[in-house]
Amino acid sequence: MVKICLKRIGKTKNPSYRVIVLDKQKDPHGRYLENLGTYDPRTKIAKLNAEAIKSWMLKGAQPSATVHNLLVTNKIIDAPKKRVSKMSKRHREKLEAKKPAAAEAMAGKPTPTPPEAPQDKPIESATA
């Protein structure tokens, strides 16, 4: 299977990426099939070859989640964005445990009303 992914290039602490096509089992730092463009995350500038990307996707190439979101942002494909970062199972369980407790706490308390602002009083001038 062929995938479209990012290959990091650039200096230390100054990343830039190439959008490449390669076989899924191959190392992205080795040889690749085709260079489809570049992406600079610091300036958010992406120079992509839209025609080549669409032709590879028609041939069956699957973009990675990050590349998919990059293509959606640049309006090359029309689809909803994918969630890139994954939540650990333990963290998800903690959040689910907090939701019912927060709902019960809110059910017992009345909603606070904001205090009214004091009325503006005319300023009296002191004449002596």
DSSP state of 107: H
Using CA atoms, how far residue 107 sits from 51, 103, 111, in Å, is 55, 6, 9
In a domain, 11, yes or no: yes
DSSP state of 120: P
CB 24 within 8 A of CB 1: yes
Is residue 62 over pLDDT 90? yes
DSSP state of 39: E
In a domain, 76, yes or no: yes
In a domain, 126, yes or no: no
Number of Cβ within 10 Å of residue 97's Cβ equals 10
Of the given ranges (33-37, 66-70, 88-92), which has the lowest mean pLDDT? 88-92
At 73-108, the pLDDT tens digits run 999 999 999 988 888 889 888 888 887 776 666 666
Of the candidates 54, 64, 81, which has an alpha carbon nearest to the alpha carbon of residue 8? Answer: 64
In a domain, 26, yes or no: yes
Using CA atoms, how far residue 64 sits from 6, 20, 31, 43, 76, in Å, is 8, 11, 18, 21, 15
What is the pLDDT, as a whole number, of residue 68? 96
Q: Which domain holds residue 78?
A: 1-105
Question: Which CATH number covers residue 18?
Answer: 3.30.1320.10
Average pLDDT over residues 24-37: 91
Is residue 55 over pLDDT 90? yes
- What's the chain's average pLDDT? 86
Domain count, the chain: 1
What residues are paired with 45 via a beta bridge? 40
In a domain, 9, yes or no: yes
Of the candidates 23, 19, 26, 32, which has an alpha carbon nearest to the alpha carbon of residue 61? Answer: 23
In a domain, 98, yes or no: yes
